[in-house]
Amino acid sequence: MQGKHPIFKKILIWRAKHISHKQFVYILSILVGFTSGVGAVVLKNLTHFIQHLLENNLLNYLHNAFYFVFPIIGFALVYLIMKYVIRHKVSHGIPSTLYAISKRKGIMKRYQMLGSILTAPITVGFGGSVGLEGPTVATGAAISSNISRMFRMNQKTKTLLIGCAAAGALSSIFKAPVAAIIFAVEVFSLDLTIVSMLPLLLASLSGIFTSYFFFGDDILLPFKIEEGFTLSDIPFYIILGICSAFVSIYFTEVYDRIQNFFDGIASPVKRFLIGGISIGILIYFIPPLYGEGFDVLNNLIAGNPEKAMVNNFFNLDLSNVWIVITLLLGLVIFKVIASALTFGAGGVGGIFAPTLFMGGIMGNCVAKIANNCGLLNAPISESNFTLVGMAGLLAGVLHAPLTAIFLIAELTSGYELFVPLMLTAAISFGITKIFAPHSVYAMELGRKGELITHDKDHAVLTLMEIDKVIETNFVTITTKMTLGEIVHQAVVKSNRNIFPVVDEETKELRGVILLDDIRSIMFDQTLYNDVLASEVMQKPPEIINFTTDKMTSIMKKFQDSGAWNLPVVQNNVYIGFISKSKLLTAYRRQLINYTK
């Protein structure tokens, strides 16, 4: 375990004497931002090296049919690395980080620091239709978590530094420091206060400085706005917002269904074979689905859709704009399928890039359709709609409207599109939230009630653990015990006024007996052999299921029933009680730890 070496202990003692906790958090936030930036550099360079090796070298001498086999090879390599090198499954980046925050007190295992670096470049480089943003965030978060453990930071500081890692990663990738901070707050549900603001700012700055040092002035999506926003475009941005919402719902639904399909396949070999063959077929017929797809987006933003679609399998005439629109709509439809297949096959990546890809193409299609339907006096800007479409889908799929707005604003080096960005993102997020209450990142945790949110009460309850509040010092009674046995074997020996009644053989809970239930007869010895426990027991107002009930539902059961003690069962077998007093005491302690 970290921190056991004598020299390290001396460092901890020196730090405690000379550096305040707040100052030390600032230092760690800079370190975390730097490590996240370095992680982004390593992931990007490894991925580009693999893609250059495969696409520019092998495909020049071989045949495009190798697009079909590359994904299978990639997934096989990822599987072998997980099994024999890492010896752990590498989960999806940001969902695994959210799980660590909500259920593991911000603790991420050490293998997670290298897991994404070893597997994500192979996944994307060999054609996996996912992005590198999620793995970059997961790598930075794992490093941050282990640094926090090394220096014995509390849970709240661990969570803050994980948010700093996310800010540093996104800032390094997109050179968008403000959007990176907002992303950390929106996705990881951090409290944006003076205490958290400065560490996030320092981490974001550290990440962007790292990016400038290694990548120079290169920008992932270089673009300068040449056509500003006009009021006459508002109806089309409203339409774009509505389209973004429906595409976001489509994205979430298709992604969820494909993930559920692969979850039902037990064999990892079958998963990567099925997924690899499926995505290989898709990429063979639709080459733009290969990898992240930022080259396609840059061509669309530059107004060159023909370059993006030049390798279409059917050799269609790209001078016909309606053929181009049809091909672009096909990319929107099939990109999420390709991304979900990549994850299902065991690939490692993120959905940030696929979301930008689909959103940009969708926005470009809306503009092209509007410009070519013969109803406009003046054309609308296809480049602007491409950018705003990215924001619309980010807002809907990731449930991060502010991140979407500021990311595109920073990428375009100005705020000329701020109004349409706000309008489109608000409409997309508002409609999507009705049909998909949780983002793709958080829907699994959200369905289980294990997701940390900006609702402080809900967040505190989510962080509490049910096994820490169960009391077991209750004397159990069996259904066949007589009144006399109840008095002598339970009432006399217990200092509690409630007794669980269980089946003598299965130990399943049958009911409860309150002391008030037998008070009027417990001194009448003539009834000691005649009255059985099953005759005086009552049904508990609510029963807590240890396996399925979360703290939020447990608190609601106490509120609705008005009970002071509720029994806990597992597979119907009695295991203890939870009292309202202990639950509230544990809540207060967790609240103090969460907010201090």
Q: Tens digits of per-residue pLDDT, 511-521?
A: 999 888 888 88
Number of domains present in the structure of the chain = 3
Is 456 inside any structural domain?
no
Structure confidence at residue 459 (pLDDT): 55
Looking at residue 532, the DSSP 8-state letter turns out to be B
Quick one: 300 and 340 in the same domain? yes
State both tokens at 22: 């707040």
Q: How confident is the model at residue 338 (pLDDT cuts 50, 70, 90)?
A: very high
207 & 243 share domain? no
Question: Closest Cα partner for 371 from 488, 274, 543, 236?
Answer: 236
Q: Which is nearest to 148 in space by CA: 121, 173, 113, 172?
A: 113
Task: Categorise residue 452: left if φ over 0, alpha if ψ from -120 to 50, beta otherwise.
Answer: beta
Are residue 195 and residue 89 in the same domain, yes or no?
yes
Residue 366: pLDDT band (50, 70, 90) is very high
Specify if 499 maps to a domain. yes
Note whether 307 and 197 are same-domain residues.
no
Of 401, 421, 450, the position where a domain reaches its end is: 450
Please indicate, yes or no, whether residues 366 and 514 belong to a single structural domain of this protein. no
Q: For strands 498-502 and 509-514, give the pairing.
A: antiparallel
Report if residue 197 sits inside a domain. yes
Residue 158 has pLDDT above 90, yes or no: no
Residue 442 sits in the same domain as residue 491: no
Domain holding 514: CATH number? 3.10.580.10
Which of 106-120, 258-272, 432-446 shows the lowest per-residue confidence on average (mean pLDDT)? 432-446
Query: Per-residue pLDDT for 192 more than 70?
Result: no
Answer yes or no: is 382 within a domain: yes
Percentage, residues of the chain above pLDDT 70: 87
Q: Which domain holds residue 526?
A: 461-595
Least confident range from 26-40, 373-387, 395-409: namely: 373-387
Q: 220 in a domain, yes or no?
A: no
The first and second tokens of residue 508, run together, are 């399943």
Who wins on pLDDT, 448 or 438?
438
Q: Tokens for 234, please give them.
A: 């508002």
pLDDT of residue 67: 67
Residue type, 11: I
pLDDT the model gives residue 151: 83
Which CATH number fits the domain that encloses residue 118?
Answer: 1.10.3080.10
Spatial neighbors of 413 by CB under 8 A, at least 6 apart, are 224, 225
224 located within any domain: no
Instruction: Check whether residue 161 and residue 82 sit in a common domain.
Output: yes
Q: Is the distance from CB of 337 to CB of 254 less than 8 angstroms? A: yes
Residue 556: per-residue pLDDT: 85
Higher pLDDT among residues 223 and 177, named by residue: 177
Q: Are residues 92 and 125 in the same domain?
A: yes
Q: 580-595 and 456-463 helices cross at what angle (nearest 10)?
A: 110
Structural domain includes residue 222: no
Q: What is the pTM of this model?
A: 0.76
Query: Could you tell me if 134 and 70 lie in one domain?
Result: yes
On whether both 421 and 342 belong to a single domain, the answer is yes
How many Cβ atoms from other residues are within 10 Å of residue 342's Cβ? Answer: 29
What digits encode the pLDDT tens for the residues 74-111? 889 999 999 889 888 887 777 777 777 767 777 888 88
The domain boundary residue, chosen from 215, 239, 272 = 215
534 and 397 both lie in a single domain:
no
In a domain? residue 445: yes
Q: Looking at the structure, do residues 84 and 180 belong to the same domain, yes or no?
A: yes
pLDDT at 535 over 60: yes
Residue after which a domain boundary falls, among 186, 215, 244: 215
Q: Is residue 310 very low, low, confident or very high in pLDDT (cuts 50, 70, 90)? A: low
